[in-house]
Structure formats: structure tokens, C-alpha cells
Amino acid sequence: MLLDHKKWLLYAFITTLFWGIWGALIEIPEKAGFPATLGYIVWSLTMVPCAVVALIIIKWKLDANLRSVLLGSVIGLLGAGGQLILFQALREGPAYLIFPFISLFPILSILLSFLFLREKASKKQLIGMGLALTAIFFLSYQPGHANGFSGVSWIILSACVFIMWGAQTFVMKFANNTMKAESIFFYMTATALLLSPFAFMMTDFSVPINWNLKGPYLAFIIHLMNAVGALTLVYALRYGKAIVVVPMTGLSPIITVVLSLIIYVVVPAWTISLGVGIALTAIYFLSE
């Protein structure tokens, strides 16, 4: 039987693996003509079967007191709301600047957990956290030029996503102290579905949309991996410290990079190669 103090590692690994695979495959339906905004709606629907499984595990005994409803809803709105804001940020600003900035949201999660939850880590884990944050930056960095982009709205939007995602994992860990992880995921699902109409309104229907197998159907299969990873993340934060779990799951791009090399046969930029090397070292220290 897996010891409790190592359960977080198993769940964090599953999240990292599934999110890494999701990251490598998600662009397939988008390139086939199925927009990311509609992909969000599909993703919210993939959360439903995972939520049902979670409710079965707790025998449908959902935490329904006001505190649990509020905490669960805040977690869901921060995550799903941040995703919708990201769509708009990418319309107004360069992805090569937005993604590296947003990818460092674990810094905020770590800071909040340290200040308010009084979480501590071993020296090896502290080294691993620093390496993980560095690796996340390099793995997310995309060289390019901001041609055609101006203004500061995308900076403000990116900052909002950074704050929302950083706060989400902190609140998720905080909520795990007083409510079931399965209940947290249920409310995450409910709020994701609640925001689906906004994703629909953000969709540009003036361009052709692929409704065939490579569209919503393939997107459902791919997004299901993201949903499973979100569920195991809640479990990882139940058993582990946020200051360790969040940086580790943030290394999912290393899986994405490896799979992308195999699927698309591309040579990674030096920043990606450096990020992979740092990430492997970080995983060693974080798993101690």
C-alpha cells in the first residue's frame, strides 16, 4: 500500500503526465479547424464524467455547506475564468511573452502557501522548487517578435491570469483542509460549465469550423486527459504541500516537448533543451 506521505507524489506525477500529453495533442483539433473557445466548452463537458466518478467515491455525500460551496466555486472560477481571459490576452498580445509570464504562477502559489499556510520544505525541495520555476520559464519561452501587437491591455489580462491561477492552487490547498477533494472537483466542474456560454460568445463563427471527427470528438478525448489531471491535482494537494506539488505539476511541458519531438519531428530551440535538462534535475530534488 502506498504510504500517505508519498500519495501526493503519485497524484502529482499523474497530473504532470496527463497534462503533458494533453499539451502535445491539443493543437491537433485547433489546427484542424476547431477553435480553442469551443475547445473550452468541450473541456468543461469532459469534467462531468470525472466529477461523477469523484461523487461515486464519496458515495454522493457532497459537502454542501455555505463555506464549501463558496470555496469550491472560487477555485473553479479562478481556474476556468483565467482560461477565458487567456483566450482574449492571446488575441491582443504575443504568445511568446504571455506564456512564459503566466507559466510562473507557481511563484504566487508558493508565496501564499508560505505566508498563510506556513508550509515549509526541505533544503532539497527548496532547490527543486527554484529549478522547477526556472525550467517552467524556459519550457514556455517562444522566441518571436511582437509584430502587429500594441497597447497594454494584453499585459493587464496576462497579469490577471497569473494572479488567478496562482491563487487557485492556494485556495485549493486551503479548501482541502476543511472539505473533501471530490467536492472541490464537483464545484470546479459546475463553474466550468457555468462559464461555457462566455466561451461560446467569444467564438468567431465567421470562419469555417470543423465539426467532424478531428473537431469536437477528438477534442473531447484530448481534453479528458486534462480533466483527469485536474482531479488528481486536487488529490495531490490533499496529501502534499502546495509549495512542492505546484512546481512539480508545472513541469508538464517536459512531457509535451518529448511527445512533440516524436509526433512532429521537430528540433527544439536551445531554450527548450535547457528547460528539459533543468526540469529533470528539478524532479529529482522535488521527489525527495
The residue assigned the cell 497534462 is 19
Cell 504510504: give the residue: 3
pTM for this predicted structure: 0.89
Long-range contacts: 130-134, Cβ < 8 Å, 24+? Answer: 131/278, 131/279, 131/281, 131/282, 131/285, 132/106, 132/247, 132/248, 132/250, 132/251, 132/279, 132/282, 132/283, 132/286, 133/104, 133/106, 133/107, 133/247, 133/250, 134/278, 134/282
Q: What is the pLDDT of residue 1?
A: 40
Q: How many residues does the chain have?
A: 288
How far apart, in whole angstroms, are the C-alpha atoms of residue 285 and residue 288? Answer: 6
Distance separating the N- and C-terminal Cα atoms of the chain: 19
Among the listed residues 234, 227, 232, the one whose alpha carbon sits nearest the alpha carbon of residue 50: 227
The runs of H, that is alpha helices, within the chain are: 4-25, 27-31, 36-57, 66-92, 95-102, 106-116, 123-140, 153-175, 181-194, 196-202, 218-239, 242-249, 253-264, 270-286
Query: Which pLDDT score is estimated for 51?
Result: 98
How far apart (Å, rounded) are the C-alpha atoms in residues 180 and 47?
17
Q: What letter represents residue 260's amino acid?
A: S
Q: Say what the pLDDT of residue 72 is.
A: 97
| C-beta atoms surrounding 47 within 10 Å | 27
- Residues of the chain with pLDDT below 70 are 1-5, 142-151, 266-268, 287-288
Q: What secondary structure letter does DSSP report for 195?
A: T
